[in-house]
Amino acid sequence: MIKDQHIYIAGPLCFYEEGYSLWNAYRKEAEYYGFHVTLPNDVKLVSDDEPPVEKEEMSRRIFRNCADSMSKSNGIIVNLETYRGSEPDGGSIFELGMAYGLGARCYGFTRDKRRTGIKYQAARYCEGSGAKDTNGMTVGHPELPFSVDVTSAAKIIEGSFSDCLKAYMTDLEEESKLRAVRNTASETDSIPVKEDRKRPLVYYASADRDEPDASQRYIRIREIFDKYGLDIVFPTDPAAGADDIATDDPYTKAYSIFRRYQQHVRDCDIILLDLNDFRGGYEPDSDVSFEAGLAYVLGKKLFGFMDDCRPMTERIPNGGEASDFRDFNGMKVENFNAPLNLMFGASAKLISGTFEEYAEIIAGSLKGGQ
């Protein structure tokens, strides 16, 4: 029987028809084995004598419940199935980033652990530049089953929630054996943050980080932010102490890159998130989603930009109010007047415009103490 283990179950089941029934089945299975389960819907959001709550306030309350539930957990099991496109649910990956930042055990399950290059059949080979997605963007790291951050942060089990839960329990049992001879408490792999900066540091969590010319693209952005008294770093920039490892092993290489990405998040004061739809779906890039969650639990300021900031109910085709805003698969589209999942809408300031405007807004928020 498992003792003193609190797990957070993450996934978009709440948007599926009969999804709560399956979510509760997951809970009962975990509790049967002795786990304590924390779910964001455990807390009542509106008191009986309270007047109707505005949509934006409701999203903030749900987000706070998610964050509170996560802080009480020492592990997460996240559903990594694709969601409205080729990426997993962005809100779930945000929660994975939060869990990792809090030092929790991170597990994920999927029915398809094949490498991205095989799973993403919409990619097209372009001679001299590798595979491109439907938007003409480079398919980075096609040898991995998921993005660099997701693959590196989570132990990924091919199968069901039950399979993942059993793997989690097996690991706990094996660690209990080893505890007889040594302390095996896991720690987040990171390098100490440097605090000797003279100007605020922004990390640009970009979806175009795998483009061959990414570093060249970022030169102009750096110049713009410099004008506003801001330093900015990009995923392609080196991170002190997190040197890339020269290797042919895709997982070793991925974790080496992951150390660089997460070190940039830990070093920065502000994170600027490219939250545009990724690879023809309606979810952001998974690396960006993960880094958003990690940044949030580390106390960073979050700013996210999108080309289309209309509410989700307008951006994502659905049957309208008569169908409870369900899409063609019967999945409910969030209706909180935000352009994407509430994990982003309630944690980040969402903006649309140019990099000049983003730099001005960020600089202004620092002067105004916002």
pLDDT tens-digit series, residues 249-300: 999 999 999 999 999 999 999 999 999 999 989 999 999 999 999 999 999 9
Tokens for 213, please give them.
Answer: 């010319």
Name the least confident of 106-120, 122-136, 165-179, 349-363.
Answer: 122-136
Looking up tokens 């307008």, which residue turns up? 314
Distance CA 224, CA 235 (A): 18
Q: Which two tokens stand for residue 314?
A: 């307008």
**pLDDT reading at 369 higher than 70:** no
Rounded CA-CA distance 149/147 in Å is: 6
Task: Indicate the angle between helix axes 214-227 and 355-367, nearest 10 degrees.
Answer: 40
Q: Summarize pLDDT for 169-189 with one digit per residue, the tens.
A: 999 999 888 877 655 444 556
In this predicted structure, the answer to whether residue 309 has a pLDDT above a threshold of 90 is yes
Domain spanning 201-367, CATH architecture: 3-Layer(aba) Sandwich (3.40)
User: For 16-25, 179-188, 197-206, which range has the lowest pLDDT when averaged over its residues?
Assistant: 179-188
Supply the angle between the helices 19-32 and 161-178 in degrees, to the nearest 10.
Answer: 20
Q: What pLDDT is recorded for position 124?
A: 87
Which of 114-118, 163-167, 179-183, 308-312 has the lowest average pLDDT?
179-183
Kindly give the pairing relationship between strand 6-10 and strand 301-305.
unpaired
Statement: residue 242 has pLDDT above 60: yes
Four-way CATH pick for 6-178: 3.40.50.450, 3.40.30.10, 3.20.20.410, 1.10.357.10: 3.40.50.450
Question: Residue 224: pLDDT band by 50, 70, 90 thresholds?
Answer: very high
Among 33-42, 205-214, 276-285, which is the least confidently predicted range? 33-42
Number of DSSP helices (H) and strands (E) in the chain, helices first = 12, 12
Question: What integer pLDDT is reported at residue 190 of this predicted model?
Answer: 65
- Residue 231, classed as helix, strand or coil, is strand
Instruction: Evaluate if residue 343 carries a pLDDT over 70.
Output: yes
Instruction: Rounding to the nearest 10 degrees, give the CA dihedral for residues 86, 251, 242, 106.
Output: 70
Question: CATH 3.40.50.450 spans which residues of the chain?
Answer: 6-178, 201-367
CA 37 → CA 7, 27, 114, 243, distances in Å?
Answer: 5, 6, 30, 38
What is the rounded average pLDDT of the residues 26-54? 84
pLDDT at 196: 73
Q: By three-state DSSP, how is residue 366 classified?
A: helix
Q: Tokens representing 64? A: 């706070």
Give the pLDDT confidence score for residue 51 in this predicted structure.
83
Looking at residue 368, what is its pLDDT?
Answer: 67
Residue 38 above 90 pLDDT? no
For the chain, the maximum distance between any two Cα atoms, rounded to a whole number of angstroms, is 65
- Give residue 183's pLDDT: 57
Q: Facing residues of 78 across strands? A: 10, 108
Comparing 191 with 101, which gets the higher pLDDT?
101
pLDDT at 231: 98
Angle between helix axes 55-71 and 90-101 (nearest 10 degrees) is 40
Structural contact between residues 370 and 319, judged by C-beta atoms closer than 8 angstroms = no
**Got the DSSP string for 56-77?**
HHHHHHHHHHHHHHHHT-SEEE
pLDDT at 13: 93
The CA angle 143-146-150, to the nearest 5 degrees, is 130
Cβ neighbours of residue 176 under 8 Å, at least 6 residues apart?
Answer: none
DSSP class per residue in 201-214: EEEEE-TTTTSTTH
Nearest-angstrom CA–CA distance, 194 and 205: 19
Report angle CA 181, 183, 186 to the nearest 5 degrees: 140
pLDDT (0 to 100) of residue 15: 93
CA–CA separation, 19 vs 12, rounded Å?
8
Q: Are 86 and 174 in contact (CB under 8 A)?
A: no
How many CB atoms within 10 Å of residue 306?
19
Distance CA 55, CA 53 (A): 6
Average pLDDT, integer, range 36-53: 78
**Which one-letter DSSP state was computed for residue 249?**
-
pLDDT above 80: residue 3: yes
Q: Provide the H-helix boundaries in 14-144.
A: 19-32, 55-71, 90-101, 116-119
According to the model, what pLDDT value does residue 126 have? Answer: 84
